[in-house]
Amino acid sequence: MIGFMVVVFISSIGCSSDERIERHLQTLHEINSNISTGQWKVLDGFVDEQEEHFELEKQRADTDTSYCLSFSYFPLSEKYVIDGFSQSFKKKDNYYHEMSIHNNDTIYHFFCTEAVSKERMIPINERHFITGKYYYLYHDGWLSEQQMRYFELHEDSLTKVRGNSIIELPGIN
């Protein structure tokens, strides 16, 4: 007999007050205090027996500050995985900054002359990294498969590299 998996897709309509999302956000706030619990908009998500995955976004009122959060919850092990949490904002210097923060550590931080969004991608060479360029390149799919394997082997030290002018990662077969 062939089994099947029921997958429920979550639309952004009416999900911001969903008890499931609110419960997840409460737990995520305990894991990472930078993640607030209210006023998130659901961009995408799915729920099945193995995993609940959501991508959320939030705009801070009257500012150029926005947040993106992507996470998964695995009900069988009651485990959370934060795939990404970033903050974008425009500073007084007229540069747009984007940074990812996990447990009060900056994972990556870059700035550029235009805001980066899904609708408007800025070439990687126009983003000026303060820290975390290797991490960003890895997680956003800018590396070759061999470079990704190299990053995975040396992730602890490579995520701490600061600066924008860094050497290209070698590949591993």
**Looking at 63, 85, 107, which one is the last position of a domain?**
85
Assess whether 7 and 50 both reside in one domain. Answer: yes
For residue 111, how many C-alpha atoms fall within 13 Å in the half-sphere facing its CB?
11
Confidence (pLDDT) at 3: 36
User: What is the number of structural domains in the chain?
Assistant: 2
Domain extent, residue 30, equals: 1-85
From 29, 63, 85, the end of a domain falls on 85
Q: Are residues 131 and 58 in the same domain?
A: no
**pLDDT attached to residue 103:** 66
Q: Tell me the whole-structure pTM to 2 decimals.
A: 0.70
Residue that terminates a domain, selected from 85, 100, 131: 85
pLDDT tens, N- to C-terminus, the chain (173 residues): 333 333 333 433 333 347 889 999 999 999 888 888 888 999 889 898 999 999 999 988 777 788 999 999 999 999 999 888 888 888 877 889 999 877 667 889 999 988 776 666 788 888 999 999 999 999 888 999 999 999 999 998 998 899 999 999 988 76
Residue among 56, 51, 61 nearest 25 (CA) = 56
Q: pLDDT at position 153, please? A: 94
Residue 10's pLDDT is 41
User: Do 114 and 37 share a structural domain?
Assistant: no
DSSP string, 45-106: EEE-SS-EEEEEEEE-TTSS-EEEEEEEEETTTTEEEEEEEEEEEE-TTS-EEEEEEETTEE
Separation of alpha carbons 125 and 87, rounded Å: 20
Question: What pLDDT is stored for residue 4 in this prediction?
Answer: 33
Per-residue tokens: 92: 């007084």
